[in-house]
Structure 1
Amino acid sequence: MGTQTRWLGARATAIRVGSDWNCYESTTTTRTRRSFSLCCRWSPLTTLASSMPYEKELAAAKKAATLAARLCQKVQKALLQSDVHSKSDKSPVTVADYGSQVLVSLILERELPSELFSLVAEEDSGDLRKESGQDTLKCITELVNNTLANEGSHSFSTLTTDDVLKAIDNGKSEGGPVGRHWVLDPIDGTKGFVRGDQYAIALALLHEGKVVLGVLACPNLPLATIGRNQQNSSSNEVGCVFFAKVGDGTYMQALDGSTQTRVNVSAVDNPEEASFFESYEAAHSSHDLSSTIAEKLGVKAPPVRIDSQAKYGALSRGDGAIYLRFPHKGYREKIWDHAAGCIVVSEAGGIVSDAAGNPLDFSKGKFLDVDTGIIVTNQNLMPSLLRAVKESLNEKASSL
């Protein structure tokens, strides 16, 4: 590479990493359950899951998400504001966002060659096919090739820009109730990613409309507990992968692949001892409504605000007991923002539902039809949480 400069977009700004100008860093206890969770509740699929345990698919998903996380880590370390441009919905999109989607698409296709491949993903190649996106496309292509080379994979020849565009557009599936569909958010929490905070690579598999496995790679989440009075852990170890498959529980391991540990949601039954998570960005969820609900419920601790589905991961290991998400009117939840997190929490013993207590339905395409918001907690707290939510929503409606 020498000191050759790679350009990102029209502003032609380079990132310096180490001693090289480049667009990336160049580096050579079983619990008895009475039933399945709400997001994966019993159906004829339960019997199917016992005969098709999804081991091969889970291994492929972990490999894909972990490799994508490594790519994202490199870019985040070298991130300049000029790396980010806007989509039509004004959410930031980064080189890493596209690169992550390319890697997941390629790895899943390679590891599962005999399966009909369907991927429902957040990004498409529209902006990259424009003249203004050509420099960014070249940077993504080089970044992906470098990441694959560092992995030591000989299964891929050097990718062209056309290969990259095709891999991105593999994510155009609409999903639905029939067959298998992978669901991906290549960087969930892009604003957190840009700030240097929490984000996640969120990957799930739907089978006949049900979530049957999920992986959350959270590169910046500490291995130690976060939560009330512990948002800044004394531990320097960061980077977690949470994974779950239907009927088999939820596990966590370090991003470097160390020994996995089974995790469980908090068993707290006293709201005064509970802490709750909510979105970092007020634009993503009503902090005022969450505060009202927490007060009615009797929660004493202030909210823990972090980006992305890392909240689901933290909740699954008992860091907090409640997650509240109430988007502003008119917003439609996408399946890739919750599919992986849903099964990670539910297989850890938690419950995920909409504000009326209905299970999330991932069988209707890219969007979730939810009543007002999404709430997550353990079985002990859910009845009282639903009452507090109902009372708060009624008060809000009567005040309008």
Structure 2
Amino acid sequence: MDSPYSHELKVAFAAIQRAAEISRSVFAQVDLGVLKKDDLSPVTIADFAIQALLTATFHAAFPNDKFVGEESAAELRENPVLLERVWSHLQQAAGGGGGGDADADGLCRIPESPEQACQMIDWCGSGVPGGVGTGRVWVFDPIDGTQNFVRGELYAINVALLEDGKQVLSAVGCPNLSPDVTGPVMDNSLDPEGRGSIVFAVRGYGTHVRQLTGSLDEVSVRAIPRHAEEAPTLRSVTCLNTLASGLEDVHIAAAELLQMPFPGCNLLPWVIRYVVMGLGLANTTFWVYNTRTRLAKAWDHAGAMLLFEEVGGKITDVDGRDIDLTAGRKMAANYGFVAAPKNLHGLVLRTLQDVIRQDGRIELIGSGA
């Protein structure tokens, strides 16, 4: 795919390949170094090491760009043993993964020391997406779906580029999802051949998929048709019976009114849900948080949403507002999500809002919705 972001994609592919090697190396260990953050979400050695690798690599390639990422280095600074384990995986990555990916060997970087690793992780941990006039900001989710990762199920490495707060590039590494996957996709739908995939998009140039390993000139790239512009039916992807943050009864009732088989694809990681919609294995997802004070995190959505938008899909919040990535690390300008084919998005949005009202939860409907 020729685009103005060809070099950025080349760096992203290389970084994702090396990040996937780190994740596999960590998973091979008995102790994954799982910690619980303040919001009770898990984080592993792989999260820290991959965020350091991504930041070092993109900073070397694009020294004027800024960064946002999920993790901060506070735990590492307080736990020298954990920091040493992270540093060990980074040093192993610096030696090459043995996968024969020359691009990864030539483009990837690691921090120069454990202290610089902490510093680079904190660049991301304190970064904000920004808005008009803020320039280029890379957004990383080093492991989206950490709970899945520790179980050996589907997870993603999310890399996004924003310019003045707008998504322009998405590259999502799926180390155990086949590039030829067929639906329905579940958390345990693992690639039987172990190839993995990268699903990527550049604004205005469509969504594409390739296998994870191999240099650009060695692997085939498949363009995904714009299936979500004029879709005849709704096909669901959601997360059922796993997360407590959403109103499952509302989701189920809305799907029934829409005559949409539910759950369809059932996946924990948000990024993988966007991947599945980008690939055409689903075309609809919605999420009503159980309170309006619950805020989504930018790294779970930035870039990955572009995969669906570039095949014709439309994404708003539950109030019908456009998604605003400039509001901060937590997406304070939006409540929930509604993603659907462009021609059916209005129907899905109205149905969901009607169910919320009929359920007596009028406080969840924003003014003007």
Short-chain TM bin: 0.7 to 0.9
* 2:332 is equivalent to residue 382 of structure 1: no
The secondary structure found in structure 2 opposite 1:139 is helix
* 2:173 is equivalent to residue 217 of structure 1: yes
The secondary structure found in structure 2 opposite 1:90 is coil
Deviates more, 1:185-194 or 1:223-232: 223-232
Aligned equivalent of 1:275: 235
Aligned equivalent of 1:135: 81
* Residue type of the alignment partner of 1:290: H
- Of 336, 340, 353, which residue of structure 1 is paired with 2:303? 340
Aligned equivalent of 2:102: none
* Residue type of the alignment partner of 1:344: L
Aligned equivalent of 1:124: 72
Aligned equivalent of 1:358: 321
* Residue type of the alignment partner of 2:236: F
Aligned equivalent of 2:57: 107
Shift of 1:351: 1.3
* Residue type of the alignment partner of 2:59: E
* Residue type of the alignment partner of 2:179: L
Query: Quick one: distance in 1 between partners of 2:45 and 2:113?
Result: 16
Shift of 1:352: 1.4
Shift of 1:235: 4.9
The secondary structure found in structure 2 opposite 1:168 is helix
Matches within 5 A, 1:17-32: none
Shift of 1:344: 1.3
Query: Quick one: distance in 1 between partners of 2:189 and 2:272?
Result: 15
The answer to whether the 8 A contact 2:167-2:306 is kept is yes
The answer to whether the 8 A contact 1:219-1:239 is kept is yes
Query: Quick one: distance in 1 between partners of 2:358 and 2:157?
Result: 37
Query: Quick one: distance in 1 between partners of 2:252 and 2:107?
Result: 52
In 2 relative to 1, CA 361–79 (structure 1 residues): closer, same or farther, beyond 3 Å?
Answer: farther
- Of 4, 17, 20, which residue of structure 2 is paired with 1:69? 20
The answer to whether the 8 A contact 2:53-2:111 is kept is no
The secondary structure found in structure 1 opposite 2:196 is strand
In 2 relative to 1, CA 83–168 (structure 1 residues): closer, same or farther, beyond 3 Å?
Answer: same
Deviates more, 1:284-293 or 1:251-260: 284-293
The secondary structure found in structure 2 opposite 1:83 is coil
In 2 relative to 1, CA 379–72 (structure 1 residues): closer, same or farther, beyond 3 Å?
Answer: same
Query: Which consecutive residues of structure 2, in runs of 5 or more, have no partner in the other structure?
Result: 98-104, 364-369
In 2 relative to 1, CA 169–232 (structure 1 residues): closer, same or farther, beyond 3 Å?
Answer: closer
The secondary structure found in structure 2 opposite 1:222 is coil
- Of 100, 118, 129, which residue of structure 2 is paired with 1:165? 118
Aligned equivalent of 1:60: 11
* 2:35 is equivalent to residue 85 of structure 1: yes
Higher Cα radius of gyration: 1
The secondary structure found in structure 2 opposite 1:201 is strand
Query: Quick one: distance in 2 between partners of 1:134 and 1:229?
Result: 39
The answer to whether the 8 A contact 1:265-1:345 is kept is no
The secondary structure found in structure 2 opposite 1:375 is strand
Aligned equivalent of 1:324: 286
* Number of corresponding residues: 344
Task: Give a deviation string over 1:212-262, Cα, whole Å, max 9, x none.
Answer: 111111112222334338874795355111111111111111111321111
Query: Quick one: distance in 1 between partners of 2:109 and 2:259?
Result: 55
Shift of 1:315: 0.8
Query: Quick one: distance in 1 between partners of 2:91 and 2:113?
Result: 9
The answer to whether the 8 A contact 1:219-1:240 is kept is yes
In 2 relative to 1, CA 193–277 (structure 1 residues): closer, same or farther, beyond 3 Å?
Answer: same
CA RMSD of aligned residues (A): 2.6
Shift of 1:79: 4.7
Deviates more, 1:299-308 or 1:332-341: 299-308
The answer to whether the 8 A contact 1:354-1:372 is kept is yes
- Of 308, 314, 318, which residue of structure 1 is paired with 2:276? 314
The secondary structure found in structure 1 opposite 2:115 is helix
- Of 138, 141, 147, which residue of structure 2 is paired with 1:182? 138
Query: Which consecutive residues of structure 1, in runs of 5 or more, have no partner in the other structure?
Result: 1-28, 31-49
- The TM-score normalised by the length of structure 2 is 0.85
The answer to whether the 8 A contact 1:278-1:285 is kept is no
* Residue type of the alignment partner of 1:317: L
Query: Quick one: distance in 2 between partners of 1:157 and 1:140?
Result: 11
* 2:247 is equivalent to residue 286 of structure 1: yes
The answer to whether the 8 A contact 1:264-1:349 is kept is no
- The TM-score normalised by the length of structure 1 is 0.79
